[in-house]
Amino acid sequence: MPSVLHVSNLGKTFTLHQQNGVTLPVLSEINFQLEAGECLILRGRSGAGKSTLLRALYGNYLPTDGSIRVRHAGAWLEMVGAPPRSILAARRSTLGYVSQFLRVIPRVSALDVVTEPALARGVDPEKARRRARSLLDNLNIPERLWRLSPSTFSGGERQRVNIARGFMVDWPIFLLDEPTASLDAANRGIVLELIAHAKKRGAAMIGIFHDEAACEAVADRYLEMGAQPAYQKTGETKYACGTNFQ
Amino acid sequence: MTLSAISFSPETAARQFLPVSDPDDSMPILSVRDLTRLYGPEKGCQNVSFDLYPGEVLGIVGESGSGKSTLLAALSGRFAPSGGTVRYCQTSGEWLDIYATSEARRRQLFRTEWGFVEQNPRDGLRMGVSAGANIGERLMAQGARHYGDLRAAGLQWLSHVEIDPARLDDFPRAFSGGMQQRLQIARNLVSSPRLLFMDEPTGGLDVSVQARLLDLLRGLTREFSLSVILVTHDLAVARLLADRLMVMRRSRVVESGLADQILDDPQHPYTQLLVSSILQT
Ligand SMILES: Nc1ncnc2c1ncn2[C@@H]1O[C@H](COP(=O)(O)OP(=O)(O)OP(=O)(O)O)[C@@H](O)[C@H]1O
Ligand SMILES: Nc1ncnc2c1ncn2[C@@H]1O[C@H](COP(=O)(O)OP(=O)(O)OP(=O)(O)O)[C@@H](O)[C@H]1O
Ligand SMILES: [Mg+2]
Ligand SMILES: [Mg+2]
């Protein structure tokens, strides 16, 4: 399978200027690559930097060191230092990000929230809406809610709308930050099916799952994070950094 | 489940069979270099440089008095800077230096390829003529004379901005603030501009009206793939509408980049202060 993502020597240190310039070295010397159809699971204690890594891969956090190369539009795109429009282009067609929380936009209906990523990619609107309806239906969102803004939905309903949106498009690379957290068993099973289906079609995935059964069901490899400090940058922080492969 | 070890040499692997893409393959629509206009030390804007690309929405954020409106006025050709250049890439592909060209050409741009949405709709509308006449003005300036066409465009644009087309002959003063703002947007967009400047477009409106206007603006910028420069002090508005942000403080741009990255992982001490003081709820 072709390689779709190369991360080398990735580092991320937060500098908190509001708090006397304290530095938090969260990621350092992260190295891995990912092939199409592969699923890499990020593991580590709370605060180990799992979400930080996913956000850095999506261009939402700015890495301090290293390189993130994404196979995008037939070429390698270096995400670190890329201009905003290149990152947005990669997000439109290559990188899908599913977090635990839906960012609600006022007045936009659940159906439109779900359809949007496909429209942004230029998919035929009628076809896009058909897929959105079937996803919402699969995820057990009652049809009477489709026309409403998710601002009034329950936590679980919002999360399922978020997942429908995340799986609306056949992303070559999926970034999944605890997509099954706080879902009931039936809905969790549906999400795992969506993941398995996307993998089969050749999508590469990087995921964080707190529940072991979900990990077992989808993982090909694990990346242990924050296990042993590779090196300590400053004396004043207690945050371990570094990464070990298992 | 197999836990395969990863053997990886970053240098060779990343280069395998694919070229590294060159992001700078398209032309900017606006190119700004060292733009400066100061009213006093750190009052106004100085040394601002950036390129705006077609379809991009650039947000300018920063505290009151940081120079956002001054910068926008200098960018949009409203008053000459004391230094620097603003160049516009015309439909023909030729560059136009905004402050080196004639007043007549500048004015023609304002009425056709550019639009400007004022914070106060009263400054951007003609209050003494009907909604329909407000919308038709740019079309007439472009040579449209046929009464039926102008009326049809007016009706179409009122419904585009979600105003009841039956209000076509009403005067703007009979409209609510939110409706006036939407009328101002219609009046600007009717000539299919390529570049739109907006100074606090939702500033004077209450929250529910704001949400509706923002949703409309979001849709319109995408539908017409407009390039937009938007001044706002409201970071939620910036997050919703902007692709990119420039953060201003005391006349200087202190940080710029992808909008959600600036808001979620700000680097400059001032941006961290701005984000933490406004977004923390
Ligand atoms: N925007 C930010 N600014 C400053 N520090 C941050 C920021 N985002 C994350 N951090 C810090 O980075 C560290 C890693 O956080 P992260 O959210 O990546 O952990 P995680 O491994 O996903 O944990 P969890 O399992 O609890 O979700 C934490 O100490 C966190 O406080
Ligand atoms: N015509 C003028 N004459 C003198 N000083 C001016 C003039 N216009 C603006 N200034 C000063 O320049 C500075 C920047 O003003 P500007 O209107 O650009 O700020 P802003 O960032 O838009 O603020 P706000 O968010 O309050 O609208 C301020 O200190 C202002 O007093
Ligand atoms: Mg996390
Ligand atoms: Mg202002």
Contact at CB, A220 and B265, closer than 8 angstroms: no
Q: What per-residue confidence (pLDDT) applies to B4?
A: 34
pLDDT band at A54 (very low <50, low <70, confident <90, very high): very high
Pocket test of ligand 1: the residue of A52, A53, A175 to mutate, having most ligand atoms within 8 Å of its CB, is A52
Measured in angstroms, how far is the CA atom of residue B278 from the centroid of ligand 2?
Answer: 21
pLDDT at position B147 over 70: yes
Residues B123-134: tens digit of each pLDDT: 999 999 999 999
Nearest ligand, CA of residue A52?
1
For domain A37-64+81-245, give the CATH superfamily. Answer: P-loop containing nucleotide triphosphate hydrolases (3.40.50.300)
Q: What per-residue confidence (pLDDT) applies to A160?
A: 94
pLDDT at position A238 over 60: no
Residues near ion ligand 4 (Cβ under 5 Å): B 69
Residues A121-170: tens digit of each pLDDT: 889 999 999 999 999 999 999 999 999 999 889 988 999 999 999 999 99
Q: Which amino acid is at B247?
A: V
Question: Which among A150, A179, A83 has a CA at the least distance from the CA of B244?
Answer: A83
Burial degree of B208 (CB within 10 A; 0-12, 13-18, 19+): exposed
The crossing angle, in degrees rounded to 10, of helices A125-138 and A110-120 is 130
Residues B32-42: tens digit of each pLDDT: 999 999 999 99
CA separation for the pair B9, A33 (Å, rounded): 9
Q: Which amino acid is at B4?
A: S
Contact at CB, B13 and A67, closer than 8 angstroms: no
Residue A209 CB coordination number (10 Å): 25
**Token code pair at residue B231:** 């001044």
- Give me the mean pLDDT over the B251-270 stretch: 97
Contacts of B240 in chain A (CB under 8 A): 105
- B48 or B108: which leads in pLDDT: B48
Residues B75-87: tens digit of each pLDDT: 999 989 999 999 9
Contact at CB, B4 and A221, closer than 8 angstroms: yes
pLDDT at position A45 over 80: yes
Q: What per-residue confidence (pLDDT) applies to B25?
A: 58
Q: Ligand 2 atom 16: the closest Cα is on which residue?
A: B67
Q: Please write down the HEC assignment for all residues of chain A.
A: CCEEEEEEEEEEEEEEHHHCCEEEEEEEEEEEEEECCCEEEEECCCCCCHHHHHHHHCCCCCCCEEEEEEEECCEEEECCCCCHHHHHHHHHHCEEEECCCCCCCCCCCHHHHHHHHHHHCCCCHHHHHHHHHHHHHHCCCCHHHCCCCHHHCCHHHHHHHHHHHHCCCCCCEEEEECCCCCCCHHHHHHHHHHHHHHHHCCCEEEEECCCHHHHHHHCCEEEEECCCCCCCCCCCCCCCCCEEEC
**Are B187 and B13 within 8 A, CB to CB?**
no
With residue B227 as reference, give the H or E element that holds it. strand B227-231
Q: What per-residue confidence (pLDDT) applies to B210?
A: 79
- A210 or A89: which leads in pLDDT: A89
Q: Ligand 2 atom 26: the closest Cα is on which residue?
A: B64
Strands A39-43 and A204-208: parallel
The crossing angle, in degrees rounded to 10, of helices B131-141 and B147-160 is 120
Kindly state the percentage of chain A with pLDDT values over 90. 77
Q: Which amino acid is at B211?
A: A
Q: Which atom of ligand 2 is nearest to the CA of B67?
A: 18
Domain limits, chain B: 10-279
- Rounded to two decimals, the ipTM of the complex is 0.89
Contact at CB, A88 and B257, closer than 8 angstroms: no
Q: Virtual CA dihedral for A235, A239, A241, A245, nearest 10 degrees?
A: 140
- A235 or B21: which leads in pLDDT: B21
Q: Check residue B20 and report its DSSP letter.
A: B
For domain B10-279, give the CATH superfamily. Answer: P-loop containing nucleotide triphosphate hydrolases (3.40.50.300)
Domain limits, chain A: 37-64+81-245
